Amino acid sequence: MIQIIDLHKSFGPNKVLQGVSLNVKKGETLVIIGQSGSGKSVLIKHLIGLIKPDKGKIVVDGVDITRLREDELYKTRRKFGMLFQSAALFDSMTVAQNVSFGLERYSKMSQKERRKRVAESLAMVGLRGIENLMPHELSGGMKKRVGLARAISYRPEIILYDEPSTGIDPIRADAINDLIIRMKKEIKITSIVITHDMVSSYKVADRIAMLYQGKIIETCTPEAVKESKNQIVQQFIHGSAEGPIENW
């Protein structure tokens, strides 16, 4: 579904991505782990064309998106839904207006059809009848779920999750994990999850890839990553301060 080939990106002297190569299979959930500031969010911004690489390419469904003009990216971006780290809801809009935001941009649905799709999407994430609430009336976990309802409302083929468990308690975080699994089963969606939460990683991932010093240093199943011989991987997954990883 997605091929990332020798991707490089620097911001001034700061080399963030230094040859990232990674394949994402259709229908799988791939989790990308790594330190804060390791370039995980920069990587997913490349996937939707918000950032252009200095070198390398990204192929989505056979199309190299790094060569597309801004107006040509529109069709490819429709394949993606995104759950932002902060949920990124519009404070001045109701829940219904937030969820229907993508529908108004990317679909030709009537107002009645949009209302129905909003209700369906909210129901899928366990939130019924809250269409008229405002974001400030929601808990952190509810905001995440509304953000996910917005991401799935126009039925994308791929969902990007940026630190989905950040800022919420472990119980609500596990509810988000269950939703990621449910989206895969019910919508057959391809998912890329950016996180440093190993509990979530083990639960939702088909494969886990670790980004370190601008490169993917290991890609394997959750079971295999626990047995990895790579000291950097072992230090990260066990959260140890002692080891080869420095400059935390």
Average pLDDT over residues 155-168: 87
* Residue whose C-alpha is closest to residue 87's, from 21, 150, 171, 27: 150
Token output for 1: 């579904």
pLDDT of res. 119:
95
Compute the mean pLDDT over every residue in the chain, rounded to the nearest whole number.
90
Least confident range of 3-12, 13-22, 121-130: 121-130
Contacts of 183 (CB under 8 A, 6+ apart): 124, 148, 152, 159, 189, 191
CATH architecture of 1-79+157-248: 3-Layer(aba) Sandwich (3.40)
Strand partners for 192 = 30, 160
Percent of the chain residues topping a pLDDT of 90 = 59
pLDDT for 84-117, tens place per residue? 877 789 999 999 999 998 888 778 889 999 999 9
- Binned at pLDDT 50, 70 and 90, residue 232 comes out as very high
Average pLDDT over residues 197-225: 95
- Go through 81-120 and write b for each residue having 16 or more CB atoms within 10 A of its CB, e for each that does not: bbbbbebebeeeebbbbbbbbbbeebbeeeeeebeebbbe
Give the helix, strand, coil percentages of the chain, each rounded to 5.
40, 25, 35
pLDDT of res. 208:
97
> Has residue 248 got a pLDDT over 70?
no
> Has residue 247 got a pLDDT over 60?
no
Percent of the chain residues topping a pLDDT of 70 = 99
> Has residue 203 got a pLDDT over 80?
yes
> For residue 241, how many other CB atoms are within 10 A of its CB?
7
Residue spans of the domains in the chain: they are 1-79+157-248, 91-155
Asked whether the beta carbons of 24 and 30 are under 8 A apart, the reply is: yes
pLDDT of res. 102:
81
